[in-house]
Amino acid sequence: MDFEFTRGDTKVFKFKLQDKNGEDLKLSSTDKIYLTAKKNSKSTGIAFQKTLNSGIELRDDGYYYVTINSDDTAKLGYGTYGYDIEIKTATGIVKTLLIGSITLTEEYTFKEDET
């Protein structure tokens, strides 16, 4: 999934964990899920990261909701960042679920303008 939104805005999107038959999967309490955003795949520095219960939440409708907050992007440069969503199970299985891009467009009301 690719997204484009104004730097410093809040962005919420959702996805489902499903097996190859379309059946919903749920993570155990010891499994991990990460959304990691970087300037590009070679970057060592993380632009921002979300984890289960810290920006990623499972809701009653069976979807995992990711919330990118204003503070996550307010100080980043304009342009395109790559991201992936990965799960890591307690048994050591690592699986990348999604790879996409986030393009941050220009803004005119900066965080410091919001008094």
Is pLDDT above 80 for 115? no
Q: Domain 2-107, what fold?
A: Immunoglobulin-like (2.60.40)
The residue ranges of every structural domain in the chain are 2-107
Residues 6+ apart with CB under 8 A from 88: 31, 32, 33, 34, 94
CA distance linking residue 23 with residue 16, whole number of Å: 10
* 3-class secondary-structure state, position 113: helix
Whole-model pTM over 0.85: yes
pLDDT digits (tens, 9 = 90+) for 37-72: 999 999 999 999 999 989 999 999 999 999 999 999
d(CA 77, CA 104): 8
> What pLDDT does residue 59 have?
93
